[in-house]
Amino acid sequence: MDLTEAGVGSSLERVRRELDTLVEGIILDDPLALEAFAALITASPRVFVLGAGRSGLALRMTAMRLMHLGMDVHVVGEVTTPGIGSGDLLLTASGSGTTAGIVRAAQTAVSSGARVAAITTAPESPLAELATRIIVLPAAGKLDRTRAASSQYAGSLFEQAVVILGDAIFDALWVRSGATADELWPRHANLE
Q: What separation in angstroms does the CA of 89 have from each of 3, 41, 45, 82, 120?
A: 47, 7, 8, 13, 16
As a whole number, the mean pLDDT across the chain is: 91
Q: What is the mean pLDDT of residues 55-59?
A: 96
The pLDDT of residue 192 is 56
Domain spans, the chain: 8-178
Query: Domain 8-178, CATH 3.40.50.10490 — does that match?
Result: yes
State pLDDT tens for residues 68-93: 999 999 999 999 999 999 999 999 99
Catalytic residue among 78, 159, 183, 192: 159
CB contact at 8 A, 135 and 150? no
State pLDDT tens for residues 96-137: 999 999 999 999 999 999 999 999 999 999 999 999 999 999
% of the chain exceeding 70 in pLDDT: 91
The pLDDT of residue 63 is 97
Least Cα distance to 161 among 126, 117, 119 occurs for 119
The amino acid that residue 164 corresponds to is I
Write a three-state SS string for 161-183.
HHHHHHHHHHHHHHHHHCCCHHH
Spatial separation of the C-alpha atoms in residues 39 and 99, rounded to whole Å: 25
Q: How would you classify the pairing of strands 133-136 and 89-93? A: unpaired
For the question of residue 159 being annotated catalytic, the response is yes
